[in-house]
Structure 1
Amino acid sequence: MSTDLVTDRERRAFAETLHGELVVPSDPEYDDARSVWNGMIDKRPALIARCAGVADVATAVAFARENDLLVSIRGGGHNVAGTAVCDDGLVIDLSEMTSVHVDPERRTAWVQAGATWADVDHESQFFGLAAPGGVVSDTGVAGLTLGGGIGHLRRKYGLSCDNLRSVELVTADGEYVTASEDERPDLFWALRGGGGNFGVVTGFEFELHPVGPEVATVLVFYDAANLPEILASYREYARTAPDEVSTLTFSGMLPDEELSPDAVDVAKIAIIGCYAGPAEEGMDVLAPLRRFADPITDLSGVRPYEDLQTLLDEDYPDGMRYYWKSLYLDGISDEAIERIASWTEAAPSPLSTIDVWHLSGAITDVDVTESAFAGRHAPYLLGVEANWEDADTDEENVAWVRDCLDDMRQFSDGSVYLNFPGFLEEGDEMMRTTFGDAYERLVAVKDEYDPTNLFRVNQNVKPSS
């Protein structure tokens, strides 16, 4: 790690201009400040600016630009790809900016960029409202939304980015701007699914919807010996499911402590999701998902929406090792199902899963030209999640994900969900494949707001220069 990127005098002057804290490698809190949720990530930045507000963000951007520093942006939540931190550069850390303000009459929420979905749900559910977020409450609002935002309400109310009314950010030249359908519409288009390429987003304004406080949920576990039949039945159910139903399947060993002891070492396939409507009606609509075979266990029922959002939290503890990739699927044919069963069995870690997300619904109500999000055409998303604990098995777990994705590309056009990208090894080719004709429009926005590619530690859109 370089220690001479800036002088001691420059560092001290920078620290004095911040309302938040500047952390450097000699500080006792440095290792905590640089650590992230994914235990695979071990980067050593030269400076970490823990921003207290927008003014700190603008100051940090200016300092990075003037000193030609590599920059990474850290929001709240997971950041599975590890782009929240960088070696030998400046981390602009927004994780202490977690304020959420709900306007129940306008049904909107103003959310700072360091917040998690738990922060949003806590405030919005007080009024019986929700913004479409993810499926784990510890997920960061900023990263999920800028990459699209696929969650438990997606088929009824769309993606997180579909529910944006406005976004505020600091650009590469230090300007604080607002983007919406009426103001800087090209930038607003790019921010809805184009990732963190165009500035440091400091706040989001979301549209809220009446949800909860209780919702009908399904969470049922089956023996993976029946996986082909389960996924075929799921495919048939999904074909006519109303938009109120948003579900996904996940398969693996799933060693859940709530299962009976004799089921822990049995490979399983589970279905989780909810009905975004009256709870009693929803339990009837979800009932077929619970009868595909004799379940190992069935934890379905009416529960608070906030509880639904936390059901998977314990499966993703801080500091474990993670490597995730994705593909949009053209469908789940019998052949695709056979391959999913095979790769589930081949997983080297009992904590890993292969996930199939049912999409469509309200996601397709938004025209493909209205936002940069690239997955509206796909009926399903395949997520391949390697989750493991032993660093000595890194290579085989990463290889399992990559080999599985290489095999499953025969059922896909090759585009990926930006929030499950692996690391950054595929770079420009992945981005061009995913965005297709929209890529050049993203480049034009990048040229206007970040022509020197200051914000490049991400799934990067390179400026034309």
Structure 2
Amino acid sequence: MAAIVAAIVNNASHLEQEQVVQIETLLSRFDRLSPAEQSQERVSYVSAAFPLVFGPDAVVHGSDGYEPQRQVPWSANCWLQPRVIVRLASAQQVAVALALCRFFHVQFSIRGGGHLQIPGFTSNQDGVVISLSAFDQVRLSEDQSTADIGVGLRWLEVYRQLDEHGVAVAGGRVPSVGVPGLLLGGGISFQNSQYGVGAMAISNYEVVLADSQIINANAHENPDLFWALKGGGSNFGIVTKIEMNTIPNQIWTEVRIYPLSAAAQLRAALMQYHDAIETDNKASLIYNATNDIILVVYFYCAPIENPPIFQSFCDIPYLTSFVPPGIRTVYDLVQAVASVNEAEPSVHEFRTMSSRPNIEVYEAIERAHTEQAEALKDVEGIALTTVIQPMSSLAMQQTHKNGGSPLGLEPVGQQWFLARADWTHIRDEERVRSAVRKIVDAAEEAAKRTGVYLPYKYSNYAARDQDPLASYGEENVRRLKEVAQKYDPEGVFQELQNGGWLLSKVGSTLER
């Protein structure tokens, strides 16, 4: 117990002596209880300890301010009932919160932007949520070559602040996605072919370890942890600072909306585009098919009007330019997307697979999408979307540079597929999840039949019963487990962390 008290005192300089005495008394009382009594009394002690240490930054179940914090996660099925939600603003505070969770042996969840759609990943029942939302800084280095990006921010705000200085970073593409969740899963950016996945643009992580040590992980300090964090998730510590290399923010972009009748022409153009990006590292494209329309985002990482790499799409009739063609900044584009994002909370489901580019796979996706949209048409608020994300071999090669990442990506051109559902009521969850599974099953079957299947599963697109870390390959999983054992020898992040893609669950039968 003395070590826990020392960690609190050392990292919580704001505490008065009287508060320290109260904390010591509370912890001593709990420490003297029998294991059975501790199990019975744990919740009440946790409810008392966190407000004592963190004051109004710790909200307890039932108190004023609790509900708005409870309902932060993007998907309504993730609005669980934690006992305490504590909003922290420094690595030192995170170290104290982690020390308390260890002492009380209470489940905890780490919440950045809260965009993951899987229940239990960013909240829990009767445990502690460590919210990083107060980490809201964007600080440029003196030469503007790197930016300290707050792990409580969402990407729209990151780009807004960087835009004022004429720079950007290779971060997320969806306005409401949080910074740490995206990057700890590797992270798709608009600039994949130039720089690799988003995590490859990180120059330094600040990490609070399970024993409340605060360390840096970069190419020179703790390089094994630096490697592991580029896709290894929350298995090693709580990341409290991310420093990223900055890039130019002047780009060309257009977003077109097509009728569903254009699908065959768009697939043919997409196959030509897959070939074209093998020799041009500045292009990015996202293909989104909904129940009613097809939306294609065209993005070029340079201020060049109408880049010829998108020529194969030019003559396909479209309904409108949602974002007109033009030279703008990354922030301008992401802000335009934010202006039409759904305002009402709803329930969400993702599922993923990957393959080499293949027209038969794309046709199988469309057929399955049409069938399942019909099967779910009575579900209130249902929007079923299939997303094809082309990834060049250049992107894979960039992800292998400078020490690489644990993702295990094959150095070939490929596509990362997402089947996504959004709807209104949690009561329809099983039906919707089954439909999404059928779409991905159809894509995987076509990929395996045609010999283009790839095992990789992007963790930020994965469903709760998928096993993305296992898709990194046996050798990378082995290395990740070695890093976790080195920095968290007692397995705190495997045992007490409530959810997430945990190494302790790799290869196990996950919930369906």
Structure 1 match to 2:314: 291
Give the C-alpha shift of residue 340 in structure 1. 1.4
Query: Aligned pair 1:231/2:267, yes or no?
Result: yes
2:88 maps to which of 37, 40, 51:
51
What is the alpha-carbon distance in structure 1 between the residues aligned to residue 433 and residue 41 of structure 2? 33
Structure 2 match to 1:29: 65
Task: Please tell me whether Structure 1 or Structure 2 has the larger radius of gyration of its CA atoms.
Answer: 2
Structure 1 match to 2:300: 275
Contact 1:20 1:56 in 2 (8 A): no
Structure 2 match to 1:458: 500
Q: Which amino acid aligns with 1:336?
A: V
Query: Aligned pair 1:216/2:216, yes or no?
Result: no
Query: Aligned pair 1:245/2:286, yes or no?
Result: no
Structure 2 match to 1:193: 231
Q: Which amino acid aligns with 1:200?
A: I
Query: Aligned pair 1:351/2:383, yes or no?
Result: yes
Q: Which amino acid aligns with 1:233?
A: A
Q: Following superposition of structure 1 onto structure 2, how do residues 172-187 of structure 1 map, counting pairs within 5 Å?
A: 172-187=210-225
Counting aligned pairs with the same residue, the percent is 25
Contact 1:6 1:67 in 2 (8 A): yes
Give the C-alpha shift of residue 60 in structure 1. 0.6
Contact 1:324 1:384 in 2 (8 A): yes
Q: Any gaps of 5 or more consecutive residues in structure 2? A: 1-37, 448-452, 507-512
Give the C-alpha shift of residue 430 in structure 1. 4.3
1:408 maps to which of 415, 423, 443:
443
Q: For 1:188-207, what per-residue CA distance to the aligned partner results, in whole angstroms no more than 9, with x for missing partners?
A: 00001111111110000100
Structure 2 match to 1:385: 420
Aligned residues: 442
What is the alpha-carbon distance in structure 1 between the residues aligned to residue 166 and residue 410 of structure 2? 28
What is the alpha-carbon distance in structure 2 between the residues aligned to residue 404 and residue 53 of structure 1? 43
After TM superposition, the score normalised by the length of structure 2 is 0.81
Secondary structure at 1:40 match in 2: helix
Structure 2 match to 1:370: 404
Q: For 1:345-389, what per-residue CA distance to the aligned partner results, in whole angstroms no more than 9, with x for missing partners?
A: 132365221000111234422327621134454521101111112
* Residue range with higher mean Cα deviation, 66-75 or 20-29: 20-29
Structure 2 match to 1:419: 460
What is the alpha-carbon distance in structure 1 between the residues aligned to residue 429 and residue 112 of structure 2? 26
Please identify which structure carries the higher helix content.
Answer: 2
2:132 maps to which of 51, 69, 94:
94
Secondary structure at 1:239 match in 2: helix
What is the alpha-carbon distance in structure 2 between the residues aligned to residue 320 and residue 51 of structure 1? 27
Q: Following superposition of structure 1 onto structure 2, how do residues 94-173 of structure 1 map, counting pairs within 5 Å?
A: 94-103=132-141, 105-173=143-211
Q: For 1:108-160, what per-residue CA distance to the aligned partner results, in whole angstroms no more than 9, with x for missing partners?
A: 00122111112221222222211111111221111101101102222223222
What is the alpha-carbon distance in structure 2 between the residues aligned to residue 207 and residue 146 of structure 1? 16
What is the alpha-carbon distance in structure 1 between the residues aligned to residue 366 and residue 501 of structure 2? 30
1:158–1:72 CA distance, 2 compared to 1 (3 A): same
CA-atom RMSD in angstroms:
2.3
What is the alpha-carbon distance in structure 2 between the residues aligned to residue 99 and residue 146 of structure 1? 19
Q: Which amino acid aligns with 1:459?
A: W
* Residue range with higher mean Cα deviation, 27-36 or 187-196: 27-36
What is the alpha-carbon distance in structure 2 between the residues aligned to residue 104 and residue 301 of structure 1? 34
1:218–1:344 CA distance, 2 compared to 1 (3 A): farther
Contact 1:453 1:463 in 2 (8 A): no
Q: Which amino acid aligns with 1:207?
A: N
What is the alpha-carbon distance in structure 1 between the residues aligned to residue 396 and residue 272 of structure 2? 20
Give the C-alpha shift of residue 103 in structure 1. 2.2
2:330 maps to which of 305, 311, 332:
305
Q: For 1:301-337, what per-residue CA distance to the aligned partner results, in whole angstroms no more than 9, with x for missing partners?
A: 1133212113433335452110011112222x22112
Secondary structure at 2:492 match in 1: coil
Give the C-alpha shift of residue 178 in structure 1. 0.5
Secondary structure at 2:307 match in 1: helix
